[in-house]
Each structure stands twice: as C-alpha cells, then as structure tokens.
Amino acid sequence: MRALLENHRVIVCTGSGGVGKTTTAAALGVAAARMGKRVLVLTIDPARRLATTLGIANSSDDVRVPKQSYAGELYAGTIDSARIFAEYIQRHAKSQETVDRLFANALYQQMATTLSGSQEFTSLSKLYDAATSGDYDLVILDTPPAAHAADFLHAPAKLNAVFDSAIVSMFMGRSSGFGLAASAWKQGMKLVLGALNFLTGSSFVATFNDFFSAIDAIAPDIRETNLAAHELLLARSTAFVLITSFDAAKIQEGEAFHDELAAAGYQLKKVIVNRAWPQWTPFTEAEQNAAQRALKSASGPELATLHARLSSYYSARAGLHTRFDDLMTVPEMDDDIVGLPALEQLASRLVPDA
Ligand SMILES: Nc1ncnc2c1ncn2[C@@H]1O[C@H](COP(=O)(O)OP(=O)(O)O)[C@@H](O)[C@H]1O
Ligand SMILES: [Mg+2]
C-alpha cells in the first residue's frame, strides 16, 4: 500500500455504495500526508461528521484539513456538481452573454444537477484540474455511489452523446446529424427528454433551442475535457483501488467492478475488504480441536457449539475473497470513524509503515 501511494499521482477509490469508500479515501489521504506528500482528497457526499473533520462541511473550496501535523500536507474538497459546472462554463464560454443565457435557462439548471453523467463529468473535470495544477503530489478521488464501475466510467460518454454537435445540429435544423450512430443518438435523446419532463408546450421548444444554441459552442470543450480525463485515468501514474465489504452481495458487486475495470484497461492495484469481522488469525485444526475440548470441559456444550459456528461462518466469509489477488482486509472499527484520530488509526491499518 505504501508503494501504491508513493508511486502514483492519482488514486481512484471505486466500489459500490456504503462500503466505506469515502472514509477509506480520507484515511489514504492521511497516510500519504504522513509520508510527506502534498495530497488532496476529493470526496463525494461525505458523512456530515467526516466533512466536519476534514474542514469541508461548510465550504466547497478545497481546504487544508485543520488540526493536522504531518510530514506532508493534507487537503480536502468536495465535488459540488452544480458549482463545478458553472465554473466550467464561465471558463469556456466565448462571451458573458452566453454564460448569462445558459445560467438562466431552465434546462441548464436541470442538467447541471440531475442529468445523468453530470456528477461524473464534474468529478473527472475537477480531478483533471487538480492533478494537472501542480499544487499536489497526489490526488485521491472518491467516486459517486454506483452499482457498476461502468456507470462511472461511461457516464461522461453519455454526456458527450447529449452534447454531441451532431445532435445539436439536428435540433438546430442543420443537416449534419445523419451520419451519427443510431444508438448514441437514442441514448442522448432519452437523457434529454428525461431532463425535459418538467417543461411543456411552447416553453419546451424555446427553452430547448435556447439551451442548445448556447451549449453548442461549449460542446467541443466538454468532449475534450472528457477525453483528457479518460487519458488521465488510463495513465500509468493512476491507480484504482476497489473497496468492498465482508458480505456476499457486496463482494459479488466487487467482483463485477474488478472485471469491468480490468476489461477496460484500468490499473486496479489493490482490493480492500472493509469492515471484515472478526480478525482471527488462522487456527490450525489441532488448535481448533483443543479450543473445542477446553470450551466443552469448562463451560459445557453451548459455548463450544457457538465457537464452532462462528469459526465456520468466518471461514465461509473468508472463502468469498479468493477471486482477488492483491487483497487486504480492514477490520470493523470499534466506533464509527469520527475525527482525525480515528482516521489516523484507520490510516495505520491501511499503511502500517507510513
Ligand atoms: N472499518 C470501518 N469500521 C467501522 N465503521 C466504518 C468502517 N468503514 C466505514 N465505516 C463507517 O461506515 C459508514 C459509511 O462509510 P462511507 O465511507 O461514507 O461509505 P461510502 O462512501 O462507501 O458510502 C460511515 O459512518 C463510516 O464511519
Ligand atoms: Mg461515499
């Protein structure tokens, strides 16, 4: 794990929801800061108390995490989709008039916050900016909750399909749209129409036209940003970490993530089984038998039965992880992970030699 932090400039924490992605991302940040790195952790929807610990509860700027004293420095930020989108458009639009028109547009307001792909787009765009800013040695990205790795990795492409100039052209009454792949077009239409559900009648057409004439100029930049961000994700200096947990359903989802990432060529460098409980050292059969005998003679059959059942439960669970090679387990901590000391404790588990 130490080498992983040492040798990469971007670490992407993936996995299905509720497995401890955000917490792990923050703890990896602590470990990297201890190793002397200037590190930024980009979180998505952190639990309130974690956000408070990181100093980002009331700010969408990247901040230096308070109360730290490490060899390096730990920074944290959240992905605020609506705001990142707005800044992106401010930066790329050709005129202030375009910006004003877009911001006032009902479809834009819908898109910036709810359109499928926009949170992923803004995550990647922010990751790209942070990683290429020169301000940090390492950027650790937490990803939005998703059931499949593909949801995150392909979402920007869906957004591309919506913004594709060819589609825009069709709606603008130009004729260049016919060569477009039918599936991308259908996909794009579905998203656009979904986002437009809230509009009716003539305001529909006006809003639609206005939106696309404003976005037309920015669409190529959006595609370019997506391409650059994807190149960054595929770079040798980027590592993926998969977080899963100690239950059959999450492990199955984890295996699917694992296969999707590998198939798409991303470097999955580590699998973390979080909240693995309990952490028993492997017993030999002789030790197991001795424990059984001791329990039976000291306390009768009930405790011995309980011991036997727990042992077989644990080995069945441990047997679920055999598909992953580079795997580490993190125990269920005694308390919820609140405050910097708790994150530091988790960091010591993840990277003992940091
Ligand atoms: N190893 C652990 N031991 C105890 N609690 C944990 C552990 N990992 C995560 N948690 C707790 O689980 C909850 C969900 O974690 P979070 O990182 O927000 O998950 P995710 O980002 O995957 O949805 C948080 O309250 C966090 O403190
Ligand atoms: Mg999370």
Furthest-apart CA atoms within the chain: distance in Å: 87
The encoded tokens of residue 211 equal 């939106």
Pick the ligand that lies closest to the CA of residue 333.
1
User: Looking at ligand 1, which residue's alpha carbon is closest to its atom 16?
Assistant: 20
User: From the CA of 324, how far away is ligand 1's center (Å)?
Assistant: 21
Domains of the chain: 2-277+332-350 (3.40.50.300), 285-318 (no CATH)
Read off the pLDDT of residues 135-188 as tens digits, 9 standing for 90 and up: 999 999 998 876 666 666 666 666 666 555 444 544 444 333 333 444 455 555
Whether 274 is in the pocket of ligand 1, judged by its Cβ within 6 Å, is yes
DSSP for 1-38, please give it. -HHHHHH-SEEEEE-STTSSHHHHHHHHHHHHHHTT-E
Read off the pLDDT of residues 235-277 as tens digits, 9 standing for 90 and up: 999 999 999 888 788 888 888 888 888 888 899 999 998 987 7
Question: Can you tell me which atom of ligand 1 is nearest the CA of 44?
Answer: 21
Checking if the pLDDT of 200 tops 60, the result is no
Whether 277 is in the pocket of ligand 1, judged by its Cβ within 6 Å, is no
User: From the CA of 73, how far away is ligand 1's center (Å)?
Assistant: 23
Whether 29 is in the pocket of ligand 1, judged by its Cβ within 6 Å, is no
Pick the ligand that lies closest to the CA of residue 79.
2
Neighbours of 15 (CB within 10 A): 28
Q: Which residues contact 9 (CB under 8 A, 6 or more apart)?
A: 131, 137, 138, 139, 237, 238
User: From the CA of 149, how far away is ligand 2's center (Å)?
Assistant: 14
Read off the pLDDT of residues 55-98 as tens digits, 9 standing for 90 and up: 999 888 999 999 999 999 999 999 888 888 889 889 988 889 88
Are the beta carbons of 274 and 43 closer than 8 angstroms? no
Question: Can you tell me which atom of ligand 1 is nearest the CA of 47?
Answer: 18
